[in-house]
Amino acid sequence: MAKLRKIPSIEQGLYEAFGILKDAGIEEAIKNFTGKKKSASFYRSCADPDEIHNINHADSLAIDFECLKTKGVAPMLKAHETLVVQ
């Protein structure tokens, strides 16, 4: 069952990114952008509103960059913009 996430939230943006890129796309985006290898399960835990994990800013950019190339949207940026407006 899907967990409820606050909208807007970084967790929601990351959840949307997983819908676009899937696990392999998230891992590849991070590897290509930062040169680091991190598992998708770590980022899934960052998207979990019940967990206390913070996503690294460079990783957030990497994921948005790949989402922009894939679907033309940047879910993490959208979440940040909406949070700032609020």
Task: Write out pLDDT tens, residues 13-36.
Answer: 999 999 999 999 999 999 999 999
- 48-52, Cβ contacts within 8 angstroms, sequence gap of 24 or more: 48/3, 48/11, 49/3, 49/4, 49/5, 49/6, 49/9, 49/11, 50/3
Higher local confidence (pLDDT), 57 or 53: 57
What pLDDT score does 14 carry? 93
Average pLDDT, the chain: 90
pTM for the whole structure: 0.86
What are the tokens at 40?
């998708």
Residue 66 backbone phi and psi in degrees, to 5? -70, -40
Q: At what angle do helices 75-85 and 57-71 cross, to 10 degrees?
A: 120
- What band does 65 get if pLDDT is binned at 50, 70 and 90? very high
